[in-house]
Copies of this chain bind each other. A is one copy, B any other.
């Protein structure tokens, strides 16, 4: 293993000088900077992150906390994109991220979690899939011990940022598109988990649209469950001329019910996942770029590390129409 010392020797300077150019400290002459860089390059030197972490106390090591709703492919896709986006962005940003599933720590108290994470040199958190039931996580965030970026959960404080799409606006947009395309007058809205962070926002967007267009609106609670949405559609879709769902998974459930009832109603979802086995049908949906959301979260974390205050960040979204052909591979 070639260390900072080797580089120093090669460049004919002190190791602290090497450290300084490594960390972009001021007060190093361009000349020595260049010599050090050359030495680094010639020796193919890569700094040992372990040693740096131990020494600096203020390293960019973070944990990606993920809630795994296992068993639903739709969720798997989203989860994996979160992970992929976060890890890739972290690599670019030179911050180390370790992945932790909530199931691995949800039996621990906030204090235990704090100590566990700190023992790993972790000073930052990115949390995906947190719900209002996660009381311990809430406490962890409130303790402000870690720089934290939340995805889809609007809890902002000095060192906690939130990254999400503008759910209210997106729901408004996609529902409006669907309604106008089909000249619908009455809408069945299948909402997500009541009292959930995003559900409320989406419902708000739907309500605004209903008011604006003077739609008849029936709201039912689908709990983000395919099965529930299916049942709701069976029961209420017949008398409405459009079904708007707060998630793609529920949209699939509703769509299947409509097919079984052999009636057509335009359906729209929310997520933009790739739908399997969804032959010959199409639907509007909000395409959220989960990879990008996670990347943005990493960028936000970096800002927090740099001393910025926590804030609320909206990521872009777009409206798309999904077809079966999208998923053949």
Which residues from chain A sit less than 8 Å from chain B, CB to CB? 1, 44, 46-51, 53-54, 68, 70-74, 76-77, 79-81, 83-84, 87-88, 91, 96-101, 103-104, 111-112, 115-116, 118-121, 225-227, 230, 249, 252-253, 256, 273-279, 327-329
Separation of A46 and B307 alpha carbons in the complex (Å): 28
CB distance from A96 to the nearest CB of B (A): 7
- Tell me the nearest residue of chain B to A253, going by C-beta: B328
- Tell me the nearest residue of chain B to A53, going by C-beta: B50
Point out the residues of chain B lying under 8 angstroms from A46, CB to CB.
115-116, 118-119
Q: Is the CB of B50 within 8 A of A70?
A: no
Q: Is the CB of A119 within 8 A of B47?
A: yes
Point out the residues of chain B lying under 8 angstroms from A1, CB to CB.
118
CB distance from A87 to the nearest CB of B (A): 6
Closest 4 CB pairs of A and B: A277-B277, A46-B119, A50-B121, A73-B73
Looking at the complex, which one of B72, B91, B104 makes contact with A87 (CB distance below 8 Å)? B104
Looking at the complex, which one of B70, B116, B276, B328 makes contact with A276 (CB distance below 8 Å)? B276
Given contacts A46-B115, A50-B53, A329-B227, contact A87 B71 (CB under 8 A): no
Separation of A83 and B104 alpha carbons in the complex (Å): 13
Given contacts A71-B274, A76-B76, A277-B252, contact A101 B121 (CB under 8 A): no
Given contacts A48-B121, A120-B49, A277-B276, contact A87 B99 (CB under 8 A): yes
Point out the residues of chain B lying under 8 angstroms from A249, CB to CB.
329
Point out the residues of chain B lying under 8 angstroms from A48, CB to CB.
54, 119, 121
Point out the residues of chain B lying under 8 angstroms from A79, CB to CB.
80
Given contacts A51-B54, A96-B120, contact A115 B44 (CB under 8 A): yes
Other A-B pairs, 16, CB within 8 Å; known A49-B120, A83-B83, A277-B278: A46-B118, A47-B119, A50-B53, A50-B54, A70-B80, A79-B80, A83-B99, A87-B100, A88-B103, A225-B329, A226-B328, A226-B329, A230-B328, A249-B329, A276-B276, A277-B277
CB distance from A55 to the nearest CB of B (A): 9
Point out the residues of chain B lying under 8 angstroms from A327, CB to CB.
72-73
Interface centre among A48, A112, A275, by most chain B C-beta atoms within 10 angstroms, is: A48
Interface centre among A70, A98, A119, by most chain B C-beta atoms within 10 angstroms, is: A119
- Tell me the nearest residue of chain B to A99, going by C-beta: B99
Looking at the complex, which one of B73, B81, B101, B253 makes contact with A88 (CB distance below 8 Å)? B101
